[in-house]
Each structure stands twice: as C-alpha cells, then as structure tokens.
C-alpha cells in the first residue's frame, strides 16, 4: 500500500507542471474599442501562472512603439484548478486600470480570461500566437 501511495504522489507531482505549461506562451487579447490589441506572455511562476504585456498593436497589426505598459504584469498568482483551468489569481485591465479577481480557462488555442471586481465581471477570449 505504501508503494502505491508513493507512486501516486510522484505522478501527481510530475503532472502539476504539465498542466500549467498548457497555457504558457504568447497570447493575443481581444481587440479593444479602437481595434487595437495586446500580446501577453504567460509563463509559470512557481506552481502558478503569470502574464506580462509583451507588446501593443494597432487594428492593422502594426506594433505600437513605446507603449507605456510594455513589460507590466497583467496576470499573476493563477493557481491550477483542474485540467485547463486556473483560479484565485489577479487580472489587471490596462484600459480601465482596474485589478480584479481572475481565472483562466483553456480550450485548445483559445484562452478565456475572466475578472470580477465586486459584482461586476468581464471576460475575454484570447488567441494563442505561439
């Protein structure tokens, strides 16, 4: 029985980073009201996920030089919550300058990013770039 329990713990410990790795990479946000969008790099930060703004783009896909929020953290402390889901983290909206309680949900090359501040909740569907 002890061998079975030890083996199960090893398998669980090895599978946790693999789940986090599924959402890592570069993501394109939904377009803003002006048609522009951001790219956000999501990476493992310990056992959780974090995301940093990697660039801003105009509606025609041209990079915005000198974007004031380049390199700022937009997602942090997203904890694994089952296959393809992360919860109990924070999401920052640069457009509204609001930090909200957040969660992520992965479905293939689509990532739903949700945030709630009090009773108001919003979500966006992001597309994988790489």
pLDDT of residue 17: 43
pLDDT of residue 61: 95
pLDDT of residue 108: 94
Q: What Cα–Cα distance (Å) separates residue 103 from each residue in 18, 48, 121?
A: 18, 12, 11
pLDDT of residue 63: 97
pLDDT of residue 21: 46
When the candidates are 2.40.128.520, 3.30.465.10, 1.10.10.520, 3.40.50.720, the CATH number that belongs to 2-128 is 2.40.128.520
pLDDT of residue 68: 96
C-beta neighbour count of 5 within 10 angstroms: 9
Q: pLDDT tens digits for the chain (130 residues)?
A: 444 333 333 333 334 444 444 899 999 999 998 999 999 999 999 999 999 999 999 999 999 999 999 999 999 999 999 999 999 999 999 989 999 999 999 999 999 999 999 999 999 999 999 8
pLDDT of residue 20: 43
Q: What Cα–Cα distance (Å) separates residue 39 from each residue in 8, 42, 51, 58, 126?
A: 38, 10, 10, 11, 9
pLDDT of residue 51: 98
pLDDT of residue 6: 39
């Amino acid at each position: 029985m002890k061998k079975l329990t030890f083996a199960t713990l090893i398998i669980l410990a090895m599978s946790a980073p693999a789940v986090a790795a599924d959402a890592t990479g570069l993501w394109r946000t939904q377009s803003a009201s002006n048609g522009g969008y951001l790219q956000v790099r999501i990476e493992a930060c310990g056992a959780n996920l974090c995301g940093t703004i990697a660039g801003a783009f105009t509606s025609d896909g041209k990079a915005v030089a000198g974007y004031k929020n380049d390199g700022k953290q937009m997602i942090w402390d997203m904890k694994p919550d089952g296959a393809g889901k992360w919860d109990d983290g924070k999401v920052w909206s640069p457009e509204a300058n609001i930090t909200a309680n957040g969660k992520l949900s992965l479905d293939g090359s689509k990532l739903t990013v949700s945030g709630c501040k009090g009773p108001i909740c919003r979500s966006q569907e992001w597309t994988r770039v790489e």
